[in-house]
Amino acid sequence: MRNKILLGLVLVFAVMQLFTIEKVKYEEPTANDLVNYEPLNSEVTELLKETCLNCHSNQITYPWYSEVAPVSWWIADHIEEGRERLNFSEWGNYSSGKKSHKAEESWEEMEEEEMPLPSYVFAHSEADLSEKEREILIQFFKTLEAKYKTKG
Ligand code: HEC
C-alpha cells in the first residue's frame, strides 16, 4: 500500500515536470530602461538589480529551481504579474503621470516591506536589504515621483 502511494506521488511529480514554463527572453537594457533613462549612481543601480529588476524588467535571470515544477509555475507567475504591472525596461515609454505614480507605488510598497516580495528575499540574500539600503531606494523613488509629478 505504502509503495503504491509513493509510486503515485512520484508519477504526479513526473507528470508535473511536463508542464514547463515559458521564460522571458533576456534583453540587454536599452535607452528606455530606468537604469539608462534616469541619472542613477552605481549604488542605486546595484540595489535595483539585486532587489527589483529580476521581476520588473526584461533582464530576468532564472535560478536552477525554476526548472522544477511546481516551484517553476509560482516563479513564472510572479514574473508575469510583476512585469505586467511595472516593467522598468519600459520606463522611457511611460507617460510622466505614470512614471510619477509608479515611483510613488514603489516607495510605498517598500515602506510597507511588501517589495521585494518576501518569498524572493527568502531565496535571495542579496535582496535582504538593510535599513540603510531600503532608505536609499525609498528616497530614490520619492525623488523620482517628485520629478515627474506636475508634468501631467
Ligand atoms: C519575485 C518577484 C518580484 C520582485 C523581486 C519585486 N516585485 Fe514588485 N511585484 C511583483 C508582483 C508579483 C506584483 C503584483 C502583486 C503584488 O502587488 O503583490 C508586484 C507589484 C509591484 C508594484 C505594484 C504595481 C501596481 O501597479 O500595482 C510595485 C510598485 C512594485 N511591485 C515595485 C517593486 C519594487 C520597487 C521592487 C524592488 C524593491 C520589487 N517590486 C520587487 C513581483 C516582484
Query: Which tens digit of pLDDT belongs to each residue from 85-119?
Result: 999 999 999 999 999 999 999 999 999 999 999 99
Task: Tell me if the pTM is above 0.85.
Answer: yes
Burial class of residue 101 (count of CB atoms within 10 Å of its CB; 0-12, 13-18, 19+): middle
Identify whether 4 is part of a domain: no
Residue with cell 528606455: 32
Is residue 1 scored above 90 in pLDDT?
no
Q: Which of 93, 114, 105 is nearest to 141 (CA)?
A: 105
| Distance, C-alpha 29 to centroid of its chain | 15
Residues in the chain: 152
- 20/69 Cα distance (integer angstroms): 7
Is residue 43 scored above 50 in pLDDT?
yes
Identify whether 67 is part of a domain: yes
Identify whether 1 is part of a domain: no
Identify whether 2 is part of a domain: no
Identify whether 14 is part of a domain: no
Average pLDDT on 5-26 reads 96
For ligand 1, the distance from its centroid to the CA atom of residue 124, given in whole angstroms, is: 15
Q: Is 99 in the pocket of ligand 1 (CB under 6 A)?
A: no
Q: Is 116 in the pocket of ligand 1 (CB under 6 A)?
A: yes
Identify whether 130 is part of a domain: yes
- The amino acid occupying position 64 is W
Looking at the structure of the chain, the number of domains it has is 1
Is residue 152 scored above 80 in pLDDT?
no
Q: Is 110 in the pocket of ligand 1 (CB under 6 A)?
A: yes
| Alpha-carbon torsion angle 113, 119, 124, 125, nearest 10 | 50
Q: Which of 45, 44, 49 is nearest to 60 (CA)?
A: 49
Expressed as residue numbers, the domain containing 129 is: 21-149
Average pLDDT on 37-56 reads 97
Identify whether 12 is part of a domain: no
- Nearest residue (by CA) to ligand 1, atom 21, is 82
Residue with cell 509513493: 6
Identify whether 95 is part of a domain: yes
For ligand 1, the distance from its centroid to the CA atom of residue 56, given in whole angstroms, is: 7
- 6/11 Cα distance (integer angstroms): 9
